[in-house]
């Protein structure tokens, strides 16, 4: 073995066994999982996830949305669609921990002038703005307002697998020019393979890093690739990672936090509290909420479609007839 090979091997080994301290993990169990429960969760569950995140050394926990009560009815949706300050405090008190708290705010669906308090009146640390490409101007207003109120901010541009590349490039320029601290690569439909993830992660990093911003990764598990794609983004330099306990999240769910912690070697993370939470609180929800990889979600991911048809199918009486779902979706293509 020559010296170059030895050095290459040593550097790889160092990489495999070391860790990147600037890498942050965000738990989105209650927020993304809320899309399967209309944001109804018992306080007991939310408290258990909060405590598990604290005990496991997670960096951020996302509690839900800051949705407008003019647009969404508080009698129809659970309280984690609105995340009123008093509801959050009932779970976290003054949150005297190292875990930071975030909520997601959808562009054009958030009354941010009234519903997002000045930061010194809130236990929240971060506002994460979610937007479709056509809402970018509204998203930028929302993001600036949150930033000006004192919050950390990030932006999640959704459904990018359905837009043109020139649109994405322009959106990335605008986001890189904004106040945001992080720009998330989001695989809304669970449609990316490793090559797309790598291509897009490099593109996001080219825009974000020179402006001092971090790239995040938010993956869905329609093709059992949420964790794999998150790893690819990490390898390329993404430093903010979304994951959820037991993978709880919309449709096929998210990158499972328990898998992600296995890959990260930072000793501040602990797996056991997450396993405890899965066993006692998350797995018991599965029979009711039906998240996680299955064939209908695989099919929408494969076809780069929103999972809503699979979600409807999975709550219908036909839910075992996956061939029927396949035939229907293929015919509509």
Record the tokens describing residue 320, joined without a space. Answer: 């075992």
C-alpha to C-alpha distance for 10 and 12, rounded to whole angstroms: 5
Nearer to its own copies, 33 or 247 (CB): 247
The 3-state DSSP class for residue 89 equals helix
List phi, psi (to 5°) of 21: -70, -25
Q: Which of residues 136-195 bind its own copies (CB under 8 A)?
A: 193-195
Is residue 259 within the footprint of its own copies (CB under 8 A)? yes
For its own copies, give the closer residue by CB, 71 or 295: 295
* CA atoms in the 13 A half-sphere facing the CB of 262: 9
Asked if 133 touches its own copies (CB under 8 A), the answer is no
Minimum CB separation from its own copies for residue 49, in Å?
Answer: 16
> Which range of residues in 72-80, 109-117, 203-211, 231-239 is near its own copies by CB under 8 A?
231-239
Size of the site for its own copies (CB under 8 A): 40
257 with 29: CB under 8 angstroms?
Answer: yes
- Rounded alpha-carbon distances, angstroms, from residue 333 to 19, 241, 312: 44, 33, 17
Nearer to its own copies, 85 or 321 (CB): 321
User: How many whole angstroms separate alpha carbon 305 and alpha carbon 290?
Assistant: 19
d(CA 265, CA 259): 12
Q: Is 289 in the site for its own copies (CB under 8 A)?
A: no
Q: Does the footprint of its own copies cover residue 76 (CB under 8 A)?
A: no
Among 30, 232, 240, 251, binds its own copies (CB under 8 A): 232
For position 291 contacting its own copies by CB under 8 A, the verdict is no
Per CB under 8 A, the list member of 90, 121, 263, 316 interacting with its own copies is: 263
Among 6, 173, 199, 211, binds its own copies (CB under 8 A): 199
Q: How far is the CB of 241 from its own copies (least distance, A)?
A: 15
Task: Please report how close the Cβ of residue 142 comes to its own copies at its closest, in angstroms.
Answer: 32
Calculate the alpha carbon distances from 213 to 19, 160, 202, 204, 286 in Å: 20, 19, 14, 10, 36
């Amino acid at each position: 073995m020559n010296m170059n090979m030895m050095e290459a091997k040593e550097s790889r080994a160092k990489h495999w066994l070391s860790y990147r301290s600037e890498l942050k993990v965000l738990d989105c169990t209650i927020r993304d999982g809320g899309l399967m429960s209309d944001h109804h969760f018992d306080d007991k569950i939310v408290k258990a996830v909060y405590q598990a995140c604290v005990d496991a050394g997670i960096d951020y926990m996302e509690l839900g949305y800051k949705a407008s009560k003019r647009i969404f009815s508080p009698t129809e949706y659970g309280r984690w669609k609105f995340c009123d300050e008093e509801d959050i405090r009932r779970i976290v008190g003054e949150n005297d921990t190292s875990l930071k708290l975030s909520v997601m705010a959808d562009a054009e669906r958030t009354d941010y002038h009234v519903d997002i308090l000045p930061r010194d009146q809130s236990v929240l640390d971060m506002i994460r703005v979610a937007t479709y490409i056509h809402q970018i101007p509204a998203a930028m207003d929302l993001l600036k307002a949150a930033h000006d109120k004192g919050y950390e901010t990030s932006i999640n541009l959704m459904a990018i697998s359905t837009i043109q590349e020139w649109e994405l490039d322009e959106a990335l320029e605008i986001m890189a020019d904004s106040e945001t601290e992080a720009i998330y690569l989001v695989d809304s439909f669970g449609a990316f393979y490793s090559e797309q993830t790598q291509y897009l992660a490099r593109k996001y990093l080219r825009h974000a890093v020179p402006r001092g911003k971090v790239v995040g990764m938010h993956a869905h598990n329609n093709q059992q690739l949420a964790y794999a794609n998150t790893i690819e983004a990490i390898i390329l330099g993404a430093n903010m990672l979304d994951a959820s306990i037991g993978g709880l999240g919309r449709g096929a769910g998210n990158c499972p936090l328990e898998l992600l912690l296995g890959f990260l070697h930072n000793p501040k993370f602990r797996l056991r509290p997450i396993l405890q939470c899965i066993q006692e609180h998350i797995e018991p929800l599965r029979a009711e909420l039906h998240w996680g990889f299955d064939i209908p979600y695989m099919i929408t991911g494969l076809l780069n479609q929103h999972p809503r048809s699979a979600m409807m199918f999975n709550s219908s009486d036909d839910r075992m007839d996956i061939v029927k779902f396949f035939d229907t979706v293929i015919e509509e293509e």
